[in-house]
């Protein structure tokens, strides 16, 4: 988390703008924690709503329940879009998973393992763009990254891993969870960050400054 990227000089000006540091500030740590707690509460609520949706969709077509998974992937997307530094997506998704587990759910400690894997999936996408691009396309890709990571995790983890199920189930589940990750985690996460930035709550972050420039 200590690397830096050089900012380009202004045209016609020999003065180079200060480098955008990749170091975490105190405010980054605080906001990551706050986001993690808030999203953990969202996860807890989604355990009921999304769980019912998952069961209903899976009842229609086995594997289609993955269409409800996206909200459980949103922490990494929002963390990466707001803080924009290495580790942000992972930290926010992981903290959210821990909060969800502590409040209480049926998955227990596996929630934390899922959060770790999903956060890494989103983190990889932001890293691929060198933490420089944060538009809706990158957000959707980060949601897809988290979704694919979740699919791989569930393929091998648990008392009844998905690898024991049919290829048809796993193919449908992968397609559904990727769509859900792109839309519910990626696009919805991007819209939520923009809405939060518009309130001025992210004034100390690039996302907030971008919102002010657009007004």
| pLDDT, one tens digit for every residue, the chain (215 residues) | 444 443 333 333 333 333 568 899 999 999 999 999 999 999 999 999 999 999 999 999 999 999 999 999 999 999 999 999 999 999 999 999 999 999 988 788 899 999 999 999 999 999 999 999 999 999 999 999 999 999 999 999 987 899 999 999 999 999 999 999 999 999 999 999 999 999 988 988 888 888 667 65
Range of the domain at 98: 22-214
Residue 189 within a domain? yes
pTM exceeds 0.85, yes or no: yes
Which residues contact residue 41 at a Cβ distance below 8 angstroms, ignoring those fewer than 6 apart?
A: 99, 103
Q: Is 133 part of a structural domain of the chain?
A: yes
Judged on CB neighbours under 10 Å (0-12, 13-18, 19+), 23 is exposed
The structural domain count of the chain equals 1
Is residue 152 domain-resident? yes
41 burial type by CB count under 10 A (0-12 exposed, 13-18 middle, 19+ buried): middle
Of all residues in the chain, what percent are helix, strand and coil, respectively (each to 5)?
70, 5, 25
φ/ψ of 96, rounded to 5, equals -60, -40
Place of tokens 């077509």: 61
Residue 54 lies in a domain: yes
Q: Which CA distances in Å does 22 have to 6, 32, 109, 146?
A: 11, 15, 31, 22
């Amino acid at each position: 988390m200590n690397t830096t990227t050089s900012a380009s000089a202004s045209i016609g000006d020999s003065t180079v703008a200060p480098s955008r540091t990749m170091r975490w500030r105190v405010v980054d740590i605080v906001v990551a924690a706050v986001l993690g707690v808030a999203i953990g509460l969202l996860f807890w609520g989604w355990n009921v709503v999304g769980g019912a949706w998952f069961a209903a969709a899976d009842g229609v077509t086995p594997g289609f329940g993955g269409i409800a998974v996206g909200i459980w992937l949103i922490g990494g997307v929002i963390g990466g879009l707001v803080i924009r530094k290495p580790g942000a997506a992972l930290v926010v998704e992981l903290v959210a998973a821990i909060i969800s587990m502590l409040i209480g759910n049926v998955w227990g400690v596996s929630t934390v393992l899922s959060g770790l894997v999903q956060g890494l999936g989103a983190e990889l996408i932001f890293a691929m763009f060198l933490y420089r691009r944060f538009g809706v396309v990158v957000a959707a890709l980060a949601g897809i990254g988290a979704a694919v990571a979740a699919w791989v995790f569930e393929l091998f983890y648990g008392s009844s891993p998905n690898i024991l199920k049919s290829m048809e189930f796993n193919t449908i589940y992968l397609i559904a969870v990727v769509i859900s990750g792109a839309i519910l985690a990626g696009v919805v996460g991007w819209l939520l960050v923009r809405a939060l930035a518009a309130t001025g709550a992210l004034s100390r972050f690039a996302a907030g400054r971008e919102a002010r420039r657009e007004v």
